[in-house]
Each structure stands twice: as structure tokens, then as C-alpha cells.
Structure 1
Amino acid sequence: MDLPVMPPVKPMLAKAADRLPEGDGWHFEPKWDGFRCIVFRDGDELELGSRNERPLTRYFPELVAALSAALPDRGVVDGEIVIATPDGLDFDALQQRIHPAASRVDRLAAETPASFVAFDLLALDDADLMGRPLAERRALLEAALAGVRPPVHLTPATTDRAIAEDWFVRFEGAGLDGVMAKALDGVYTPDKRSQLKVKHQRTADVVVAGYRRHKSGDGIGSLLLGLHDDGGRLHHVGVATSFTARRRGELVDEVAPYERDALADHPWRGWGGAAGGAEPTRMPGAPSRWNAKKDLSWHPLRPELVAEVAYEHLQGDRFRHATRLVRFRPDRDPASCTYGQLDHVAPYELHQIFDL
């Protein structure tokens, strides 16, 4: 492979914003909920690079042929790998593709085929485009992908803030994360937060049923959260993270009253893996597919503590991303922390965004 931009390349990142920016000079796109991927193609050679610079090529064999047919003979394209279903984007299905067994990958490639959504062009033929403004890169990308067909797509884009605001509301039902805002005169800056992302934020009251120590060993790194279903069963739905060093220490004292005899009648006792647990099975949540050595041991708490957390959206019956602790709610009954309190977003079919 011999391209003006060679792998690996860390993609340009975004910083969170509360609202879409005002004024002229902005380019807006839907924020896709998938695996960030930079595609390098040089003739018959094609590589799918991930955000952490690990190749994704072997996990998405169905995209290799599709991208080879759709992309310019020599070029580098930034985009997102997604799995689209009648119910919207399915991130859980996407995660299942990161598996060491080729037979499993091939089976899932047939059962839940992936799509690639292109949104930037880093190189074309012998030209390195990263130093050129986004407006020029977008025009070249549109020309390069003119007439492209599924499973390869060109992301919708607009410079009209009113349209972007409408997308922010309607596209959530298709499983999209929110809206991206990019400066039309901006150059491509790898691994720098040079763009804006506006995501949905909601709050929910949840049961705090355990915690993990911080990786440094100093204080609490994450709180394990639960919600009750209609039958009263407590389900592990995600975590609250991103505490300051000071807050990590404070949390140790705040949850301490709930540690005594916590495992005796704990609803997640069968998972084991907890401090004092008798069974050597793993804790709530699957092991990390990206870091097999990651410590997922946990400490149980009596499921009596209620917390209000800020979250973006659900993926199935779990929070898609880590939540943010807003406050503890000693006034709330843990039994009242149910799925029923969560917003149910009206579905929006992906084919109305484009022909997926």
C-alpha cells in the first residue's frame, strides 16, 4: 500500500456541546452510533482502521468487497461502521462482530450485515487532503461517491441549522446519537477534538447495587446501576463513571453503609465475581472485547441506595454509554426505580434518512 495518507491514522474527535452553534460557517451531520473507521484503499489493497488504530478488516468481510467496489481506486475515507435493522441502529449486534473465531464472524456477516457511512475524505489519488478545508473535502467526497449504493452510504449533511435541529429530534428514534457540527473552513486534525457533538441528555432514578474500584486503586471508579422490570427483578443497566480523584474518595464513605451483608440476598449474587462471592462467574456485563485483561471484579452493595443519573439513550434494555451521577436520592424508594420512568422515543425508520 502506497498512499499519501498511510495507516494508522487516529480520527479527528469531537467535544461535547449543549446546543448547536449559531451563525454561519457550520456543517451539520447526524451522529452515527457505530464503530469509527478510516478506510485505506490502494487498488486491490484495502484496510479498515479503527479509532484505537487496530485493524477492523477481518471482522467485517462483507464490507471489504462493497468498499472495494464503491470507493475510488486510491483514497482514504473516514466514516462509521453501523448495523441497521428495522428497529434502528443495533450497537449490540455490532459488538458481537469483534470475535476471534472466523467462523462466527462469517456467520454474523451473513445474519447481521454491516454498512459503512462515509463523512470525510482524507486523501484522493496522490493528494493529501487533510490540510484542506472541510467544504472542499466534502465536495470531493460527494463527487467520489456519486451514485454509491448500499451497504456504502454518504452521510446526509446540511449547513441549515434549522434542519439540523429537526434531525436532532427525529433521528433519535433510529438510534442515532445526536448531531455533529463541523467548521466548513476546518482542516482535518487527527486525535484532536476539533468538532462539536450535541447529544441527547435525560435523567433517571436508578438503584446503586455495587461498585468497582478505580484502576489506580484509589477510591471508586464506577457505580453499578440497576432498574426493576414489571416483575420486580433488578437488571444491571450500566454504570456511572468519570469521577474526580476527590469524588472517588468521597464515594467510598457514602456507599459504605450499604456494604454490610450486601451479598447475602443480593439479586446479582449468581453472577459471582464480587468481593466475597462464592461462584467464579463474571460480574454483570460482558467482558471487554477490546481489553481482555481489564479487571471487571466488583463489590456488592445492598440495593437500597437510589441515585439520579444523566444518560443519553438506551440500547436495548441498557444505557448505551456510561452515565453521569447527578445526586443520590435518599427520598426515593428503590422499588420505584423501574424501566417505566424512561422516555420511549418514537421509532424513525432509517430508510427515511437514506436507503438503508
Structure 2
Amino acid sequence: MQLPVMPPVSPMLAKAVTTIPPGASYEPKWDGFRSLVFRDGDEVELGSRNEKPMTRYFPELVDAIVAELPERCVIDGEIVIATDDGLDFDALQQRIHPAASRVTMLSEKTPASFIAFDLLALGDDDYTGRPFAERREALTTALSAAGSSVHLTPTTADVDTAQRWFTEFEGAGLDGVIAKPLDGIYQPDKRTMFKIKHTRTADCVVAGFRWHKTSTEETPLIGSLLLGLYNETGRLQHVGVVGAFTAKRRAELVGELEPLLMREGDNHPWQEWANTDAHAGQRLPGAVSRWNATKNLSFVALRPEQVMEVKYEHMEGDRFRHLAHFIRWRDDRTPESCTYEQLERPLTYRLDDIVPGLVS
């Protein structure tokens, strides 16, 4: 492979802001795997956020890239799995699997798509030093012959349209809007773009915790707290975790959680989760991470009696899509009042209305 921009390359990043800034190019913020596509003839590499190749996990995209992209190019975008119900991030995570046979099976059962949104190189030309407006125009031309697996993300220069996208597109599984300076060059690993994401709050039951990786018997530190919400059947469902505490706060939480430790004879709603066969296909608090099989995800169960208010971005199925953040303890709330009914549900929006032909 010989290209003007060679792998590995860290993608350009975005800094979080609370409002949509004026005077930029706006596009949906796709919720998938960020990837840089490198193609030189029949040679294709799918780079990732951490610069590790993801090529082996998406064989159907390799074939599509050869068929649909220019013969020599480097394109920034997002790998997604699109369904009639929106983006399916859980299905996307299942693709990160060591068994080639399983990857092949899933590539046929739940094929992925590539959403292109920036151009780094085309033919012998390096585009990283050119303004985004020029890169976007060249990308639009380069993808004019794209087919059913490679798509161009929509853009707008109108703030009101971007604000409408921010509200409507969440119903299709997108998680906000990206704003790019029209005169900005492509700067790998630099936060030169802006992201505006949804933020909401929820009252959750604290039902367990994990020790921090630096915790010791002499200096115990809490790593993260496991959160639950009661579903319509009255079952406490694991909904996500809250973390990102300071070292001081991690130490304080040890004492605050001690009264909630399980006593002899107590039952816990998640105690059967030790038998992972009983919950095949679900993400369990003690399950092995798909990203790091050696990571210890075991947890310490707590009596589900304490309520915490957290900040979250959006849901992925019945769980928080990203790490939630602690706001305050809610001693005025009973655990039984922490149900899914409190969550705001965005209106349904079809992916095909955002990118025609994305859902096959």
C-alpha cells in the first residue's frame, strides 16, 4: 500500500460544547465505530480510533470499499449497523470477536455500512492541509458512484436545520450534531471540531460497585457504581455504570457504601447473574469485556436501597449508551420509584430519511 497518507492515523476529534456554534458546517453525529478507510487498489485497511486495524471484523465492508470507493483514497467515517429501528450498537459490538467463523456469520446476518464524512487523500493528493469546505466538495464527487454499503453523511450550513437535526435524528439512534469550521484543516488526534450531545438525568438504584484498579487493602477505592432501573415486570434491570470520580471521592464512597453491603441471608436481584447461561446475549455486570478479555469486571453486590441521580446522554436499548455521571444522592426517593417510565423517549425517526438507502 502506497498512499499520500499512510496508516496508522489517529482521526481528528471534537471538543464538547453546550450549544451549536454559528458559521460552521453541521452534520449528524453517528453512533458507531470511528474508522479511517485506506484503499490502494485491492488493498484495504480499516483503521480505528486507537489506530488498531479493524479490517478482519468487517469483511463485507472490505468488499464494498473495493466496489464503491475510488481506487486510491483515505476517507474518515463511521462504521454502523442500520436497522428499521435505528442504529444497533449492540450488534456492532458483537463483531469484535476472535473467531473468524462468527465474524463471517455476523457479516452476513447483520451487515455493516460505512458513513463517510471527511477526505484525507485522493489519488496522489494529500487533502489534510486543505480547508474542510474543499475536502467536502471533493468527497461528494468521489462518492458519486457509491452503492448500498458506503454512504455520504448529510451536511448543512444552516444553524436552524442543524438544531432540528439535533432534536429529530436522536429518534434514529444518532447522538447529536458535529460542527466543523469551514476553513479548518484536518488535524489528526486534535480536538478542532465541536460536538453537541444530548444530556438528560435519571434517578437510579445503586446495586453494586467495582473496585478501582489502584485499590488496595490499605487504601480501598471505588472504581464505578452499578445502576439499576425497575422494568414493567418489577425486575431491577442493570442499566449502566457511573464513574469518573476523583481519587478523594473514590475513597469517600467506600465509607458511604459500607452500610449497603450484603448481610448474611440477603438476596440480591442480580445474584443469578453468576450463571451467564441464564442471560445469554445480555451484557452482565460480571461478564468478560469484548474489548479486553483479561479485564476483571466482577462486582460487589449492594442491597438495592440507595437512589442516585445521574446525568446520561441517551439510551441504547434498555441501557445507558455511555458512562453516566454522578449528580447527587436522592434520599427522598424510594428505589421502587426508579423505573424506566421516568426516561424521556425521543420520537422515532427513520434512518432512510437521513441517508436514503442506508437500511437495506
Class of the TM-score when normalised by the shorter of the 2 chains: over 0.9
- Aligned counterpart in structure 1 of residue 106 of structure 2, from 102, 105, 108: 108
CA distance in 2 between partners of 1:87 and 1:81 (Å): 17
CA distance in 1 between partners of 2:49 and 2:313 (Å): 21
Equivalent position amino acid for 1:72 in 2? P
Residue-by-residue CA offset, 1:83-136 (whole Å, 9 max, x unaligned): 000000000010111111111111111111110000000111112211211111
Contact 1:70–1:152 (Cα < 8 Å) also in 2: yes
Q: Which residue of 2 aligns with 1:96?
A: 94
CA distance in 2 between partners of 1:229 and 1:149 (Å): 41
Offset at residue 213 of structure 1 (A): 1.4
CA distance in 1 between partners of 2:139 and 2:287 (Å): 38
CA distance in 1 between partners of 2:9 and 2:307 (Å): 43
CA distance in 1 between partners of 2:11 and 2:335 (Å): 42
Q: Which residue of 1 aligns with 2:201?
A: 203
Q: Report 1:273-292 matches (<5 A).
A: 284=285, 286-292=287-293
Q: Report 1:1-356 matches (<5 A).
A: 1-22=1-22, 24=23, 26-217=24-215, 219-261=221-263, 264-272=266-274, 284=285, 286-355=287-356, 356=358
Offset at residue 285 of structure 1 (A): 5.8
Residue-by-residue CA offset, 1:49-103 (whole Å, 9 max, x unaligned): 1111221111111111111111111110000000000000000010111111111
CA distance in 2 between partners of 1:42 and 1:195 (Å): 28
Offset at residue 311 of structure 1 (A): 0.9
TM-score by length of structure 1 reads: 0.94
Aligned-residue CA RMSD in angstroms?
A: 1.5
Q: Secondary structure at the match of 1:265?
A: coil
- Consecutive unaligned residues in structure 1, runs of 5 or more: 274-281
- Consecutive unaligned residues in structure 2, runs of 5 or more: 276-282
Q: How many residues align?
A: 346
Q: Secondary structure at the match of 2:114?
A: strand
Equivalent position amino acid for 2:142 in 1? A
Offset at residue 14 of structure 1 (A): 1.2
Q: Secondary structure at the match of 1:302?
A: strand
Contact 1:263–1:302 (Cα < 8 Å) also in 2: no
Contact 2:34–2:49 (Cα < 8 Å) also in 1: yes
Q: Which residue of 2 aligns with 1:277?
A: none
Equivalent position amino acid for 1:7 in 2? P
TM-score by length of structure 2 reads: 0.93
4+ runs deviating over 4 angstroms: none
Q: Secondary structure at the match of 1:156?
A: coil
Question: Structure 1 residues 50 and 262 mapped into 2: Cα distance closer, same or farther (>3 Å)?
Answer: farther
Offset at residue 221 of structure 1 (A): 1.6
CA distance in 2 between partners of 1:145 and 1:260 (Å): 58
Equivalent position amino acid for 1:333 in 2? T
Equivalent position amino acid for 1:222 in 2? S
Which region of structure 1 is more displaced relative to structure 2, 216-225 or 324-333?
216-225
CA distance in 1 between partners of 2:333 and 2:196 (Å): 31
Equivalent position amino acid for 2:340 in 1? Y
Contact 2:38–2:75 (Cα < 8 Å) also in 1: yes
Equivalent position amino acid for 2:10 in 1? K
Question: Structure 1 residues 12 and 263 mapped into 2: Cα distance closer, same or farther (>3 Å)?
Answer: farther
Contact 2:69–2:145 (Cα < 8 Å) also in 1: no
Q: Secondary structure at the match of 1:292?
A: coil
CA distance in 2 between partners of 1:2 and 1:67 (Å): 17
